[in-house]
């Protein structure tokens, strides 16, 4: 491909002229304040997890805006017949009747999971690489605020279905709001309005407009000036979301009807940690608000306490603290899914109640053990004072494609994409909804690989 | 940052500010005036701090005006605090009595579910219980009514006539039908009465008169009167 790149002296074609013209005009806009770097070789995605998180945010914005065309937040209880008009009906319509509706719902659901996962990974990567202090403070604090808003977005999102699981989550949220000291009734009314119809409408407004707008505003402060736009990885992440959506389509659940029996349902995985704390039976405000807030506040104030000028790990105290926090997060999250004994699955109501002494004891133990191990290990392996840290990079063996091999791979990938497009169109006509999504995802991944091959071939 | 990204870091740009030239690195410097300017700190002090060169003690006129401006902005925005009530809807606490059942419709040790005072939320469902004779003798009332919202996590409880107890399907809380006190499960740890619905029995008709909305899903500290 190297030959196709024009040398500077060559005359530019109209498309390049148009791009240049546009670039010069965009210089006048805020858009050019952001500097995008398009890496010309593979760089570790760990460095731009934040941008990948934003990619899923954009994907959520697009799929969510389209879902709004069919979603209806109306809740009406017919007390005479017992029938319920519920948003669930409209979601069911999107899922089963609207063409491509199931695909969009799956994209929206799996992108939300991906966004939470990427945001958490992004946070811990930035933490362990020490990029949260020394002028990164504003980025760090805004990042944590966006992270909390992301989780609230996800929570309000899965409640909007008003299935049995969503209703249970709404009930827990309302009970927590009502247990606020001093202003419980007000907090409850703020969240729930005068009833479920109000609550769904409020959650809807918050979910589709208020919080996304706040998040975008904070992102303007959170975005660094230089960003990595790695097209292959971005399209592969989007593709992976769709492949997972095709392989593990999100369930609709059972419609919430007041007269029906509620079984055991789990909240989403990013809330099971809180669920486990609530299940210990301690005061709900402490379980649902105070303990999570302590966790958040500890992370919020770290950059202001840690004023050492060391970047890139090696600070045993803060690294051990991060590992301990991660361990506690993992333990509580896993326990939320499990019985009162973490080694057994949850399948009956009496198992819901977790012994607070065992629970908090093991959480503290995991934290202390992780802290001690990491701290001692880092102390033992620390370089002697005065020596400069080594940054010896591991050299991975790189296989260089020959020109012919490269051509063969690119052409077969293109052929592969053509085939998959036809295949996915056929699947769409035959209404194999999950297959369609899977094919689209595979196509996106193929595109990502192709762009990567282009850039390494262009060198 | 990885090496690949560093390779693409752009060259330093030159900016112009007040006739002086700075490199782009200066923009990220917290002490912009002092570390990047070509003039000495003393000179810059007179130019950048905006105060008059001869420093007077006390509040300068400029600062006094700044404070007044801040106070004015706060006063202009203060009335919007009242808009906070926009977010918390008022809810009527005066209800018209509703006929919920006739006496003969609810058998002894049976119950019926009714919506009161609204029909917009399942937490506004209540149960009318016709107490069995031994329990009725304790309370002196044949009929009692409670809100169905469990005080633990707001699931809907029901009267179980086999065990003569009010049970929650979600987490196994149990309440006494006589006064709504939680006797088992997580609700017992919280220890508040199920909110009762005030009834009026007029001949054969049973009317629901009132319920304290703020106690729904939270519980009452006092037993039903």
User: In the numeric block, which tokens belong to residue A24?
Assistant: 């010069």
Residue B51: predicted pLDDT: 52
Contact flag A178-B5 (C-beta cutoff 8 Å): no
C-alpha to C-alpha distance for A242 and A356, rounded to whole angstroms: 40
Residue A286: predicted pLDDT: 87
B114 shares a domain with B75: no
Tell me, yes or no, if A261 comes closer than 8 A to chain B by beta carbon.
yes
Nearest CA in chain B to A275: B153
CB atoms within 10 A of CB B93: 11
Residue A37: predicted pLDDT: 81
B82 shares a domain with B104: no
- Token match 């494609």: residue? A401
Q: With contacts defined as CB-CB under 8 Å, which chain A residues touch B9?
A: 226
Q: Which helix (H) or strand (E) holds A233?
A: helix A231-247
B67 shares a domain with B127: no
Tell me, yes or no, if A314 comes closer than 8 A to chain B by beta carbon.
no
Contact flag A193-B89 (C-beta cutoff 8 Å): yes
B106 shares a domain with B188: yes
Report how far apart the first and last C-alpha atoms of chain B are (Å, whole number).
69
User: In the numeric block, which tokens belong to residue A195?
Assistant: 């009833």
B104 shares a domain with B80: no
Contact flag B171-A178 (C-beta cutoff 8 Å): no
Tens-place pLDDT, residues A247-303:
998 888 888 887 776 667 788 888 888 888 888 878 888 888 898 899 889 888 887
Q: With contacts defined as CB-CB under 8 Å, which chain A residues touch B4?
A: 39-43
Pick the residue of B148, B154, B192 with the most A CBs within 10 A to test the interface with A by mutation: B154
Cβ partners under 8 Å of residue A300, min gap 6 = A141, A144
For residue B190, give how far its alpha carbon lies from the nearest alpha carbon of chain A (Å): 8
Tell me, yes or no, if A205 comes closer than 8 A to chain B by beta carbon.
no
Tens-place pLDDT, residues B59-109:
788 888 889 999 999 999 888 888 778 888 888 778 888 888 888 888 888
Average pLDDT over residues A301-307: 79
C-alpha to C-alpha distance for A74 and B40, rounded to whole angstroms: 68
Contact flag B125-A258 (C-beta cutoff 8 Å): yes
Which of B29, B52, B86 is at the close of a domain?
A: B86
Would you call the peptide bond into A232 cis, given omega within 30 degrees of 0 as the criterion?
A: no
The answer to whether B147 and B123 are in contact (CB under 8 A) is yes
More confident residue, A58 or B40: A58
Tens-place pLDDT, residues A22-50:
888 888 887 777 777 888 778 888 888 98
Nearest by CB to B88, which of A42, A174, A190?
A: A190
Beta-sheet pairing, A35-37 with A226-228: parallel
Residue A276: predicted pLDDT: 85
In a domain? residue B209 = yes
Which of B66, B86, B106 is at the close of a domain?
A: B86
For residue B128, give how far its alpha carbon lies from the nearest alpha carbon of chain A (Å): 15
B102 shares a domain with B211: yes
C-alpha to C-alpha distance for B41 and B127, rounded to whole angstroms: 79
Contact flag A194-B91 (C-beta cutoff 8 Å): yes
C-alpha to C-alpha distance for A246 and B100, rounded to whole angstroms: 50
Contact flag B120-A135 (C-beta cutoff 8 Å): no
Pick the residue of A84, A163, A281 with the most B CBs within 10 A to test the interface with B by mutation: A281
Q: With contacts defined as CB-CB under 8 Å, which chain A residues touch B154?
A: 171-172, 174-175
φ/ψ of B210, rounded to 5, equals -160, 160
* Residue-level length of chain B: 225
Beta-sheet pairing, B165-167 with A84-85: unpaired
3-state SS assignment for residue B85 = helix
B129 shares a domain with B193: yes
Residue A132: predicted pLDDT: 78
For residue B113, give how far its alpha carbon lies from the nearest alpha carbon of chain A (Å): 10
Nearest by CB to A77, which of B89, B113, B119?
A: B119
B69 shares a domain with B118: no
Tell me, yes or no, if A77 comes closer than 8 A to chain B by beta carbon.
yes
Contact flag B152-A75 (C-beta cutoff 8 Å): no
Q: What is the DSSP string of A71-96?
A: -----EE-TTT--EE-HHHHHHHHHH
Pick the residue of A81, A225, A258 with the most B CBs within 10 A to test the interface with B by mutation: A258
B20 shares a domain with B58: yes
Q: With contacts defined as CB-CB under 8 Å, which chain A residues touch B189?
A: 281
Tens-place pLDDT, residues A170-228:
988 998 898 888 888 888 888 988 888 899 999 999 999 999 999 999 998 888 878 88
In a domain? residue B164 = yes
CA distances from A327 to A126, A371, B43 (A): 17, 9, 55
CA-based nearest residue to A230, from A447, A42, A458, A58: A42
Question: What's the CATH code of the domain at B205?
Answer: 2.102.10.10
Q: How many domains does chain B have?
A: 2
B154 shares a domain with B78: no
B103 shares a domain with B80: no
Most confident by average pLDDT, A77-81, B25-29, B109-113: B109-113
Strand partners, B128: B112, B145
Nearest CA in chain B to A190: B88
In a domain? residue B1 = no
User: In the numeric block, which tokens belong to residue A36?
Assistant: 């995008």
In a domain? residue B223 = no
In a domain? residue B59 = yes
In a domain? residue B3 = no
Most confident by average pLDDT, A385-394, B39-48, B127-136: B127-136
Domains and CATH numbers, chain A: 38-121+128-265 (1.20.810.10), 271-382 (no CATH)
φ/ψ of A40, rounded to 5, equals -95, 0
3-state SS assignment for residue A445 = helix
Q: Picking from A48-62, A109-123, A262-276, A394-408, which range would have the lowest pLDDT averaged per residue?
A: A394-408
Most confident by average pLDDT, A233-242, A356-365, B27-36: A233-242
Contact flag B155-A168 (C-beta cutoff 8 Å): yes
- Domain extent for B133: 98-215
In a domain? residue B221 = no
Tens-place pLDDT, residues A411-448:
888 998 898 888 888 888 888 888 888 988 999 999 99
CA-based nearest residue to B126, from A79, A121, A67, A430: A79
Confidence of residue B139 (pLDDT cuts 50, 70, 90): confident
B211 shares a domain with B108: yes
**pLDDT above 60 (res A3):** no
Which of B32, B55, B86 is at the close of a domain?
A: B86
């Amino acid at each position: 491909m190297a030959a196709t790149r024009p040398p500077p002296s060559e005359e530019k074609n109209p498309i390049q002229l148009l791009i240049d013209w546009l670039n010069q005009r965009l210089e006048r806009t805020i858009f050019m304040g952001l500097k995008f770097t398009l890496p010309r070789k593979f760089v570790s995605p760990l460095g731009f997890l934040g941008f990948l998180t934003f990619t899923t945010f954009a994907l959520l914005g697009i799929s969510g805006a389209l879902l709004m065309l069919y979603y209806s937040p109306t809740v009406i209880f017919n007390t005479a017949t017992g029938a319920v008009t519920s948003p669930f009906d409209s979601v069911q319509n999107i899922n089963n009747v609207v063409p491509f509706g199931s695909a969009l719902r799956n994209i929206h659901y799996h992108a939300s999971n991906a966004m939470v996962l990427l945001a958490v990974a992004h946070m811990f990567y930035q933490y362990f690489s020490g990029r949260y202090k020394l002028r990164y403070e504003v980025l760090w604090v805004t990042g944590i605020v966006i992270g909390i808003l992301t989780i609230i977005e996800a929570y309000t999102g899965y409640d909007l279905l008003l299935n049995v699981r969503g209703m249970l989550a709404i009930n827990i949220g309302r009970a927590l709001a009502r247990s606020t000291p001093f202003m419980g009734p007000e907090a409850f009314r703020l969240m729930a309005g005068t009833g479920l119809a109000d609550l769904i409408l409020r959650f809807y407004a918050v979910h589709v407009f208020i919080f996304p707008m706040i998040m975008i505003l904070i992102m303007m402060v959170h975005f660094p000036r230089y960003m990595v736009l790695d097209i292959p990885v971005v399209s592969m992440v989007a593709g992976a979301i769709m492949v997972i959506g095709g392989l593990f389509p999100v369930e609709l659940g059972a419609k919430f009807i007041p007269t029906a029996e509620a079984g055991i349902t789990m909240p989403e995985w990013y809330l099971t940690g809180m669920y486990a704390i609530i299940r210990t039976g301690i005061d709900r405000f402490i379980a649902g608000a105070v303990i999570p807030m302590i966790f958040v506040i500890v992370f919020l104030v770290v950059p202001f306490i840690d004023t050492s000028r060391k970047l890139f790990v090696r600070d045993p105290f803060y690294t051990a603290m991060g590992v301990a926090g991660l361990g506690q997060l993992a333990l509580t999250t896993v326990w939320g899914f499990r019985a009162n004994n973490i080694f057994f699955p949850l399948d009956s109501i009496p198992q819901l109640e977790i012994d607070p002494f065992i629970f908090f004891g093991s959480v503290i133990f995991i934290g202390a053990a992780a802290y001690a191990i990491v701290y001692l290990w880092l102390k033992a392996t620390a370089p002697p004072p005065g020596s400069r840290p080594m940054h010896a990079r591991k050299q991975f063996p790189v296989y260089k494609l020959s020109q012919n091999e490269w051509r063969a791979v690119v052409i077969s990938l293109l052929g592969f994409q053509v085939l998959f497009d036809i295949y996915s169109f056929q699947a769409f006509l035959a209404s194999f909804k999950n297959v369609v999504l899977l094919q689209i995802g595979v196509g996106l991944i193929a595109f990502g690989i192709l762009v990567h091959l282009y850039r390494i071939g262009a060198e | 940052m990885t090496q690949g990204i560093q390779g693409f870091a752009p060259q330093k740009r030159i900016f112009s500010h007040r006739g002086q030239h700075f490199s782009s690195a200066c923009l990220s410097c917290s002490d912009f005036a002092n570390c990047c300017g070509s003039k000495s700190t003393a000179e810059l002090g007179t130019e950048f701090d905006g105060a008059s060169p001869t420093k007077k003690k006390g509040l300068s006129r400029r600062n006094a005006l700044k404070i007044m401006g801040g106070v004015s902005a706060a006063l202009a925005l203060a009335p919007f605090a009242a808009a906070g009530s926009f977010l918390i809807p008022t809810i009527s606490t005066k209800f018209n009595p509703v006929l919920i059942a006739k006496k003969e419709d609810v058998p002894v040790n049976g119950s019926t579910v009714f919506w009161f005072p609204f029909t917009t939320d399942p937490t506004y469902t209540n149960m009318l219980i016709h107490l069995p004779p031994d329990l009725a003798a304790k309370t002196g009332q044949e009929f009692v009514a409670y809100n169905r919202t469990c005080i633990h996590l707001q699931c809907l409880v029901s009267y179980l006539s086999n065990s003569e107890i009010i049970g929650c399907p979600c987490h196994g809380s149990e309440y006494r039908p006589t006064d709504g006190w939680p006797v088992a499960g997580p609700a017992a740890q919280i220890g508040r009465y199920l909110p009762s619905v005030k009834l009026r029995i007029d001949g054969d008709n049973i009317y629901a008169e009132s319920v304290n909305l703020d106690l729904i899903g939270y519980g009452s500290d006092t037993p039903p009167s």
